[in-house]
Amino acid sequence: MSAAHLPSTIPGKDHLLLRGATLIDGTGNAPITDAEVEIREGRVIYAGPSREIAPADATTIALDGKTILPGFIDAHVHFGMSIEDQSADASRFDSERTFRTALNARKTLMAGVTTARDLGGLDRGYRDAIAAGLVQGPRTHLALAPLSPTGGHTDFTMPNGRKVPMPMPVDPIIDTEDDVRRTVRLLIRSGADVIKVCTTGGVSSPSDTPDDIGVPEEHVRLIVAETAKRAGQPVAAHAQGPEGIKAAIRGGVRSVEHGYGIDDEGIELMLEHGTFLVPTLSSALRVPDPATVPAYLYEKKVKWSAIARERVAAALTAGVKIALGTDAGVCPHGENLREPVHAVELGLTPMQAIVAGTKNAAELLRLNADLGTVEEGKLADLIVIDFNPLEDITPLATPDNVKVVMQGGALVKDSDAWFNSTPVQPLLAQ
């Protein structure tokens, strides 16, 4: 999927010069004070120290005292889900669910996330609608349906046989090698950008636990081999217990999602294989109100939040490559930049957390040629804030503190009118 989907310029302003801000470009290099970012036709053509002579034909925006960052990438969301709203959602018409999904996408964009990876629940129509500008949202990569065996994490069936209402675009159950091949081929035919497998059970599923083994290592290897015949779609593994994490890594996945119970052997394997960890701390560290979720979910959440706090911190300290993702849908939508705040809480520096949510995440999604950093040649995806996140990253967690969001050169949020332009009006009410 191409990264360039949206209207690429601010109407009437196809050549912009942003001057005076501090630039944190996402590469991990030191910030540039009194920086310039020059944008033409939706791409960055210069990013660096202010030059003595400014381009004569550019519209100049003064951003003295502000900070420019790359647009963030949330590598793990579920736009169509709200786990604390399941009973109400069960009574809704599909059309209302669609509008609520679109609203979740817009909230995510307004929080400063310009690209996201939805790891289960959406068909490609949502991705295409965002790309066509029909609704506002992050440019989106899709897994469509997370795969697991019968009784596994995405077998949404209670022990009494009753289905929990979590429909998927493709039947996610794989038990045999034939199931694996056929389902992966169907997902790719249906437009999957990434294949997600569940090598363990989970916290939110009714009939398994994070220590249970889901998709076995041999099936993970088969999935990786099958994607290699196509566009080389990365394989992401929902993996929470230590044995399933190691099975996923040995099977060749590109990323371990969650990784809450990773042990020392698993950390060494991740370092050896260069596997990404997407720790979904916004979900892991959040224990919901027990009145809003089933008892089984609350009990598992309490246990595994404590485990994640210890073991994910160990992985961060060891230097495992991190890409940030929230698991929004299990935690609230539109608070996505709480994730780098949590990453700092567990041991990353603010700069490392920013790189994990920009450059590293773009590499994970194979979009690093166009996205992830504010550098010459990249798409102009950026946010503007009025504080220094390297001194205190905490304000990023509040969406209102993200004052400007630009996506492919298109101004989609300008809450304080710093660009002296009327912000793009939302297609859906907040």
pLDDT for 304 equals 95
pLDDT values of the chain reduced to their tens digit, one per residue, 430 residues: 444 344 445 555 689 999 999 999 999 999 999 999 999 999 999 999 999 888 889 999 999 999 999 999 999 999 999 877 777 887 889 999 999 999 999 999 999 999 999 999 999 999 999 999 999 999 999 999 999 999 999 988 777 877 776 778 999 999 999 999 999 999 999 999 999 999 999 988 777 899 999 999 999 999 999 999 999 999 999 999 999 999 999 999 999 999 999 999 999 999 999 999 999 999 999 988 888 888 888 899 999 999 999 999 999 999 999 999 999 999 999 999 999 999 999 999 999 999 999 999 999 999 999 999 999 999 999 999 999 999 999 999 999 999 999 999 999 999 999 987 544 444 443 3
Are 15-71+370-414 and 72-364 in the same CATH fold?
no
| Domain-wise residue ranges, the chain | 15-71+370-414, 72-364
Q: Which CATH superfamily is domain 15-71+370-414 in?
A: Urease, subunit C, domain 1 (2.30.40.10)
Q: In this predicted model, what pLDDT tens digit does every residue of 17-35 receive, in sequence order?
A: 999 999 999 999 999 999 9
pLDDT for 229 equals 95
Burial class (CB in 10 A: 0-12, 13-18, 19+), 68: buried
One-letter amino acid identity for 300?
A: K
Tokens of 272: 């050896």
Distance CA 278, CA 280 (A): 6
Helix H, strand E, coil C: the string for 101-160 is HHHHHHHHHHCCEEEEEECCCCCHHHHHHHHCCCCCCCEEEECCCCEECCCCCCCCECCC
Q: In this predicted model, what pLDDT tens digit does every residue of 146-169 receive, in sequence order?
A: 999 999 999 887 778 777 767 789
Tokens of 386: 């009025």
Q: In this predicted model, what pLDDT tens digit does every residue of 175-209 receive, in sequence order?
A: 999 999 999 999 999 999 999 999 999 988 777 89
Q: Which CATH superfamily is domain 72-364 in?
A: Metal-dependent hydrolases (3.20.20.140)
Which residues sit opposite 197 in a β-bridge? Answer: 147, 237
Q: How many CA atoms lie within 13 A of 372 on its CB side?
A: 21
